Protein backbone atom coordinates (compact mmCIF):
# COMPACT_ATOMS: atom_id res chain seq x y z
CA UNK A 1 0.00 0.00 0.00
CA UNK A 2 1.46 3.47 -0.88
CA UNK A 3 2.54 5.55 2.10
CA UNK A 4 0.83 8.92 2.22
CA UNK A 5 2.83 12.12 1.99
CA UNK A 6 1.35 13.13 5.34
CA UNK A 7 2.87 10.09 7.05
CA UNK A 8 6.28 10.78 5.48
CA UNK A 9 6.19 14.37 6.69
CA UNK A 10 5.11 13.23 10.17
CA UNK A 11 7.95 10.69 10.31
CA UNK A 12 10.52 13.34 9.32
CA UNK A 13 9.20 15.69 11.98
CA UNK A 14 9.52 13.00 14.65
CA UNK A 15 13.13 12.28 13.62
CA UNK A 16 14.05 15.96 13.76
CA UNK A 17 12.46 16.31 17.15
CA UNK A 18 14.45 13.33 18.41
CA UNK A 19 17.73 14.80 17.14
CA UNK A 20 18.17 12.08 14.54
CA UNK A 21 18.59 14.32 11.51
CA UNK A 22 21.48 13.61 9.16
CA UNK A 23 24.69 15.66 9.51
CA UNK A 24 24.77 18.82 7.39
CA UNK A 25 26.20 18.36 3.91
CA UNK A 26 28.68 21.18 4.58
CA UNK A 27 30.58 19.42 7.42
CA UNK A 28 34.17 20.58 7.94
CA UNK A 29 36.57 18.67 5.63
CA UNK A 30 39.31 16.56 7.17
CA UNK A 31 42.63 18.47 7.34
CA UNK A 32 44.89 17.38 4.50
CA UNK A 33 48.32 15.95 5.23
CA UNK A 34 51.62 17.11 3.80
CA UNK A 35 51.59 13.98 1.65
CA UNK A 36 48.13 14.82 0.28
CA UNK A 37 49.09 18.41 -0.42
CA UNK A 38 52.34 17.48 -2.19
CA UNK A 39 50.52 14.94 -4.34
CA UNK A 40 48.47 17.78 -5.84
CA UNK A 41 51.77 19.03 -7.27
CA UNK A 42 52.72 15.50 -8.50
CA UNK A 43 55.44 15.28 -5.84
CA UNK A 44 55.94 13.41 -2.58
CA UNK A 45 56.59 14.79 0.88
CA UNK A 46 58.39 12.41 3.17
CA UNK A 47 60.35 11.88 6.36
CA UNK A 48 63.35 9.75 7.13
CA UNK A 49 63.07 7.39 10.07
CA UNK A 50 65.28 5.06 12.07
CA UNK A 51 64.76 1.84 13.97
CA UNK A 52 64.97 3.17 17.56
CA UNK A 53 61.91 5.29 16.77
CA UNK A 54 59.85 2.16 16.16
CA UNK A 55 59.17 1.79 19.89
CA UNK A 56 57.31 5.14 19.96
CA UNK A 57 53.64 4.65 19.07
CA UNK A 58 52.75 8.35 18.98
CA UNK A 59 55.70 9.04 16.69
CA UNK A 60 54.73 6.19 14.36
CA UNK A 61 51.13 7.39 14.14
CA UNK A 62 52.27 10.76 12.74
CA UNK A 63 54.95 9.20 10.53
CA UNK A 64 52.40 6.92 8.94
CA UNK A 65 49.61 9.47 8.52
CA UNK A 66 51.37 12.72 7.54
CA UNK A 67 54.04 11.52 5.10
CA UNK A 68 53.88 9.73 1.77
CA UNK A 69 57.49 8.60 1.59
CA UNK A 70 60.22 7.46 3.96
CA UNK A 71 63.97 6.87 3.91
CA UNK A 72 65.70 4.50 6.35
CA UNK A 73 68.23 6.77 8.08
CA UNK A 74 70.78 4.04 8.90
CA UNK A 75 69.23 0.63 8.31
CA UNK A 76 70.47 0.25 4.71
CA UNK A 77 74.04 1.43 5.26
CA UNK A 78 76.94 -0.97 4.75
CA UNK A 79 77.89 -1.55 8.41
CA UNK A 80 74.30 -2.68 9.06
CA UNK A 81 73.55 -4.66 5.92
CA UNK A 82 76.90 -6.49 5.51
CA UNK A 83 78.49 -6.58 8.99
CA UNK A 84 80.72 -9.49 7.94
CA UNK A 85 82.08 -10.06 4.47
CA UNK A 86 79.48 -11.86 2.40
CA UNK A 87 77.05 -12.11 5.33
CA UNK A 88 74.05 -9.84 4.81
CA UNK A 89 71.47 -8.77 7.37
CA UNK A 90 68.43 -6.78 6.23
CA UNK A 91 66.43 -7.19 9.44
CA UNK A 92 66.48 -3.53 10.45
CA UNK A 93 65.70 -2.32 6.94
CA UNK A 94 62.81 -4.77 6.60
CA UNK A 95 61.12 -3.21 9.64
CA UNK A 96 61.10 0.13 7.83
CA UNK A 97 59.97 -1.53 4.59
CA UNK A 98 57.06 -3.25 6.36
CA UNK A 99 55.94 0.01 7.97
CA UNK A 100 56.11 1.79 4.63
CA UNK A 101 54.09 -0.92 2.92
CA UNK A 102 51.41 -0.85 5.63
CA UNK A 103 51.10 2.93 5.25
CA UNK A 104 51.34 3.08 1.44
CA UNK A 105 54.60 5.02 1.51
CA UNK A 106 57.29 5.16 -1.15
CA UNK A 107 60.82 4.23 0.00
CA UNK A 108 64.16 5.78 -0.98
CA UNK A 109 67.16 3.49 -0.51
CA UNK A 110 70.04 5.11 1.40
CA UNK A 111 72.87 4.40 0.69
CA UNK A 112 74.92 1.88 -1.30
CA UNK A 113 78.37 3.54 -1.44
CA UNK A 114 79.56 5.96 1.23
CA UNK A 115 82.86 6.63 2.98
CA UNK A 116 81.23 6.52 6.44
CA UNK A 117 79.59 3.76 8.49
CA UNK A 118 81.61 1.03 6.83
CA UNK A 119 82.27 -2.26 8.65
CA UNK A 120 85.69 -2.87 10.19
CA UNK A 121 86.36 -5.84 7.90
CA UNK A 122 86.25 -3.44 4.96
CA UNK A 123 88.26 -0.55 6.40
CA UNK A 124 90.71 -2.53 8.51
CA UNK A 125 92.87 -3.86 5.69
CA UNK A 126 94.23 -2.86 2.29
CA UNK A 127 92.70 -4.07 -0.96
CA UNK A 128 93.90 -4.46 -4.50
CA UNK A 129 91.73 -2.79 -7.12
CA UNK A 130 90.43 -6.14 -8.36
CA UNK A 131 89.58 -7.29 -4.84
CA UNK A 132 87.72 -4.13 -3.91
CA UNK A 133 85.83 -4.00 -7.20
CA UNK A 134 84.53 -7.51 -6.54
CA UNK A 135 83.54 -6.65 -2.96
CA UNK A 136 81.83 -3.41 -4.02
CA UNK A 137 79.93 -5.03 -6.89
CA UNK A 138 78.74 -7.88 -4.68
CA UNK A 139 77.57 -5.50 -1.96
CA UNK A 140 75.66 -3.24 -4.34
CA UNK A 141 74.03 -6.00 -6.33
CA UNK A 142 73.10 -8.14 -3.32
CA UNK A 143 71.39 -5.21 -1.59
CA UNK A 144 69.64 -3.91 -4.70
CA UNK A 145 68.45 -7.44 -5.52
CA UNK A 146 67.03 -7.87 -2.03
CA UNK A 147 64.89 -4.72 -2.31
CA UNK A 148 64.18 -4.94 -6.04
CA UNK A 149 60.78 -3.52 -6.94
CA UNK A 150 60.24 -2.02 -3.48
CA UNK A 151 62.60 0.97 -3.60
CA UNK A 152 61.80 3.86 -5.94
CA UNK A 153 65.19 5.64 -5.71
CA UNK A 154 68.66 4.59 -4.60
CA UNK A 155 71.30 6.97 -3.29
CA UNK A 156 73.92 4.93 -5.10
CA UNK A 157 76.97 7.08 -4.30
CA UNK A 158 76.82 9.46 -1.36
CA UNK A 159 79.11 12.45 -0.71
CA UNK A 160 81.74 11.81 -3.36
CA UNK A 161 83.19 15.35 -3.47
CA UNK A 162 84.97 17.80 -1.17
CA UNK A 163 83.79 21.38 -0.74
CA UNK A 164 86.22 22.64 -3.38
CA UNK A 165 84.91 20.23 -6.00
CA UNK A 166 87.77 17.73 -5.79
CA UNK A 167 87.05 14.04 -5.28
CA UNK A 168 86.82 12.89 -1.69
CA UNK A 169 89.77 10.63 -0.84
CA UNK A 170 87.58 7.71 0.19
CA UNK A 171 88.63 4.07 0.26
CA UNK A 172 86.85 3.59 -3.05
CA UNK A 173 88.40 6.60 -4.78
CA UNK A 174 91.94 5.87 -3.56
CA UNK A 175 91.75 2.22 -4.62
CA UNK A 176 89.59 2.36 -7.73
CA UNK A 177 89.82 5.94 -9.00
CA UNK A 178 86.84 8.07 -10.02
CA UNK A 179 85.47 5.32 -12.25
CA UNK A 180 83.98 3.62 -9.19
CA UNK A 181 80.99 6.00 -9.47
CA UNK A 182 80.04 4.92 -12.99
CA UNK A 183 80.63 1.28 -12.09
CA UNK A 184 78.36 1.54 -9.04
CA UNK A 185 75.55 3.03 -11.11
CA UNK A 186 75.89 0.38 -13.82
CA UNK A 187 75.95 -2.47 -11.28
CA UNK A 188 72.82 -1.19 -9.52
CA UNK A 189 71.00 -0.68 -12.82
CA UNK A 190 71.80 -4.24 -13.93
CA UNK A 191 69.79 -5.61 -11.02
CA UNK A 192 66.89 -3.13 -10.85
CA UNK A 193 66.48 -1.13 -14.05
CA UNK A 194 63.27 0.46 -12.74
CA UNK A 195 64.71 2.14 -9.63
CA UNK A 196 65.94 5.70 -10.19
CA UNK A 197 69.65 5.95 -9.39
CA UNK A 198 70.96 9.06 -7.62
CA UNK A 199 74.11 10.81 -6.57
CA UNK A 200 73.56 12.59 -3.24
CA UNK A 201 75.46 15.20 -1.22
CA UNK A 202 75.29 18.12 1.21
CA UNK A 203 76.25 21.77 0.61
CA UNK A 204 75.13 21.47 -3.00
CA UNK A 205 71.95 23.51 -2.51
CA UNK A 206 73.07 26.50 -4.60
CA UNK A 207 75.60 26.98 -7.38
CA UNK A 208 79.09 26.56 -5.93
CA UNK A 209 82.31 24.61 -6.51
CA UNK A 210 80.86 21.40 -5.13
CA UNK A 211 77.60 21.49 -7.08
CA UNK A 212 79.58 22.52 -10.18
CA UNK A 213 81.64 19.34 -9.81
CA UNK A 214 78.46 17.27 -9.68
CA UNK A 215 77.01 19.13 -12.64
CA UNK A 216 80.09 18.30 -14.73
CA UNK A 217 80.08 14.70 -13.53
CA UNK A 218 76.40 14.13 -14.25
CA UNK A 219 76.77 15.70 -17.69
CA UNK A 220 79.73 13.42 -18.47
CA UNK A 221 78.03 10.31 -17.11
CA UNK A 222 74.98 11.03 -19.24
CA UNK A 223 77.18 11.52 -22.31
CA UNK A 224 78.86 8.17 -21.59
CA UNK A 225 75.53 6.35 -21.31
CA UNK A 226 75.88 5.68 -17.57
CA UNK A 227 72.46 5.24 -15.90
CA UNK A 228 72.51 8.24 -13.56
CA UNK A 229 68.89 9.34 -13.22
CA UNK A 230 68.78 11.66 -10.25
CA UNK A 231 70.64 14.18 -8.12
CA UNK A 232 69.92 14.55 -4.42
CA UNK A 233 70.31 17.80 -2.50
CA UNK A 234 70.52 16.85 1.15
CA UNK A 235 69.56 20.30 2.40
CA UNK A 236 71.26 20.29 5.82
CA UNK A 237 71.14 24.03 6.53
CA UNK A 238 72.03 26.19 9.56
CA UNK A 239 70.59 29.63 10.29
CA UNK A 240 73.97 31.09 11.25
CA UNK A 241 75.33 30.55 7.73
CA UNK A 242 72.51 32.16 5.76
CA UNK A 243 70.13 30.71 3.21
CA UNK A 244 71.98 29.45 0.12
CA UNK A 245 71.57 31.56 -2.99
CA UNK A 246 70.26 30.12 -6.22
CA UNK A 247 68.55 26.95 -4.99
CA UNK A 248 65.87 26.96 -7.67
CA UNK A 249 68.39 27.79 -10.39
CA UNK A 250 70.60 24.94 -9.24
CA UNK A 251 67.72 22.46 -9.23
CA UNK A 252 66.72 23.65 -12.69
CA UNK A 253 70.18 23.24 -14.22
CA UNK A 254 70.35 19.60 -13.11
CA UNK A 255 66.82 19.03 -14.40
CA UNK A 256 67.95 20.48 -17.70
CA UNK A 257 70.56 17.71 -17.89
CA UNK A 258 67.67 15.25 -18.00
CA UNK A 259 67.84 13.91 -14.44
CA UNK A 260 65.30 14.10 -11.64
CA UNK A 261 66.16 16.11 -8.56
CA UNK A 262 65.08 15.33 -5.00
CA UNK A 263 65.51 17.19 -1.73
CA UNK A 264 66.64 14.20 0.29
CA UNK A 265 67.56 15.13 3.87
CA UNK A 266 66.17 18.57 4.64
CA UNK A 267 66.64 20.02 8.12
CA UNK A 268 67.40 23.56 9.26
CA UNK A 269 69.24 23.81 12.55
CA UNK A 270 69.90 26.78 14.81
CA UNK A 271 72.09 27.69 17.74
CA UNK A 272 70.14 26.94 20.91
CA UNK A 273 68.06 28.11 22.59
CA UNK A 274 65.37 28.43 19.97
CA UNK A 275 63.59 31.79 19.99
CA UNK A 276 60.44 32.99 18.23
CA UNK A 277 62.59 34.99 15.80
CA UNK A 278 64.77 32.00 14.95
CA UNK A 279 61.73 29.76 14.51
CA UNK A 280 60.15 32.36 12.21
CA UNK A 281 63.31 32.51 10.10
CA UNK A 282 63.46 28.72 10.00
CA UNK A 283 59.84 28.62 8.80
CA UNK A 284 60.66 31.03 5.97
CA UNK A 285 63.64 28.91 4.94
CA UNK A 286 61.58 25.72 4.86
CA UNK A 287 58.97 27.48 2.76
CA UNK A 288 61.58 28.86 0.37
CA UNK A 289 63.25 25.47 -0.11
CA UNK A 290 59.94 23.74 -0.80
CA UNK A 291 58.96 26.56 -3.20
CA UNK A 292 62.18 25.99 -5.14
CA UNK A 293 61.30 22.32 -5.60
CA UNK A 294 57.70 23.10 -6.59
CA UNK A 295 58.95 25.50 -9.25
CA UNK A 296 60.84 22.78 -11.15
CA UNK A 297 58.85 19.99 -12.74
CA UNK A 298 61.63 17.42 -12.41
CA UNK A 299 62.06 18.06 -8.69
CA UNK A 300 60.16 14.99 -7.59
CA UNK A 301 59.82 15.48 -3.84
CA UNK A 302 61.09 16.59 -0.46
CA UNK A 303 62.22 14.42 2.44
CA UNK A 304 62.91 15.91 5.87
CA UNK A 305 65.58 14.12 7.90
CA UNK A 306 63.11 12.74 10.42
CA UNK A 307 60.24 15.05 11.23
CA UNK A 308 60.67 15.74 14.95
CA UNK A 309 63.39 17.31 17.08
CA UNK A 310 62.89 14.37 19.44
CA UNK A 311 64.90 12.15 17.11
CA UNK A 312 67.13 14.61 15.25
CA UNK A 313 70.77 13.74 14.62
CA UNK A 314 71.81 17.39 15.00
CA UNK A 315 72.50 17.72 18.77
CA UNK A 316 74.69 14.64 18.77
CA UNK A 317 76.89 16.00 15.97
CA UNK A 318 76.64 19.77 16.48
CA UNK A 319 76.70 20.49 20.23
CA UNK A 320 74.49 23.41 21.33
CA UNK A 321 72.58 23.31 18.04
CA UNK A 322 69.22 21.77 17.22
CA UNK A 323 65.48 22.54 16.89
CA UNK A 324 65.97 21.68 13.23
CA UNK A 325 62.69 20.03 12.26
CA UNK A 326 59.04 21.00 11.67
CA UNK A 327 57.81 19.21 14.82
CA UNK A 328 59.19 19.83 18.31
CA UNK A 329 60.31 17.20 20.84
CA UNK A 330 56.71 16.73 21.98
CA UNK A 331 55.55 15.98 18.42
CA UNK A 332 53.82 19.35 18.19
CA UNK A 333 53.95 21.28 14.89
CA UNK A 334 56.16 24.37 14.79
CA UNK A 335 55.91 27.45 12.56
CA UNK A 336 57.96 25.54 9.96
CA UNK A 337 55.19 22.97 9.62
CA UNK A 338 52.58 25.64 9.01
CA UNK A 339 54.85 27.37 6.50
CA UNK A 340 55.31 24.15 4.53
CA UNK A 341 51.55 23.54 4.52
CA UNK A 342 50.90 27.03 3.23
CA UNK A 343 53.39 26.65 0.37
CA UNK A 344 51.82 23.31 -0.58
CA UNK A 345 48.38 24.92 -0.63
CA UNK A 346 47.02 23.76 2.73
Catalytically annotated residues: 159, 265
**CA 339 – CA 341 distance, rounded (Å):** 5
CA distances from 225 to 196, 229, 299, 311 (A): 15, 11, 22, 40
Secondary structure string (H, E, C) spanning 140-199: HHHHHHHCCCCCCEEEEEECCECCCCCECCCHHHHHHCCHHHHHHHHHHHHHCCCCEEEE
342, containing H or E segment = helix 335-344
Looking from the CA of 44 toward its CB, the CA atoms found within 13 Å total 22
Q: Which DSSP state fits 32?
A: P
**How would DSSP label each residue in 82-117?**
-SBTTB---HHHHHHHHHHHHTT-EEEEEEEE-SSS
Q: Are 277 and 333 in contact (CB under 8 A)?
A: no
| Cβ(266)–Cβ(339) below 8 Å | no
Q: Which residues does residue 108 pair with via DSSP β-bridges, in sequence order?
A: 153
Q: Residue 59: CB partners within 8 Å, gap ≥ 6?
A: 53, 308, 310, 311, 331
Whether 240 and 270 have beta carbons less than 8 Å apart is answered as yes
Amino acid sequence: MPVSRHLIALSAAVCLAAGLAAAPATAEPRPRTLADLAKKHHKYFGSATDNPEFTDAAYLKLLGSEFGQTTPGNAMKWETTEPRRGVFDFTAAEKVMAFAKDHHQKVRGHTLVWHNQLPAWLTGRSWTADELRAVLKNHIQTEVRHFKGRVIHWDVVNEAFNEDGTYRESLFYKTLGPGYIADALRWAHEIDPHAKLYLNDYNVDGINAKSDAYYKLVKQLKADGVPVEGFGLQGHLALQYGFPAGVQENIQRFADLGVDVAVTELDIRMQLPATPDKLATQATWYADYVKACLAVEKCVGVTIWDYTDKYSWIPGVFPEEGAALPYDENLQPKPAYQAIRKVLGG
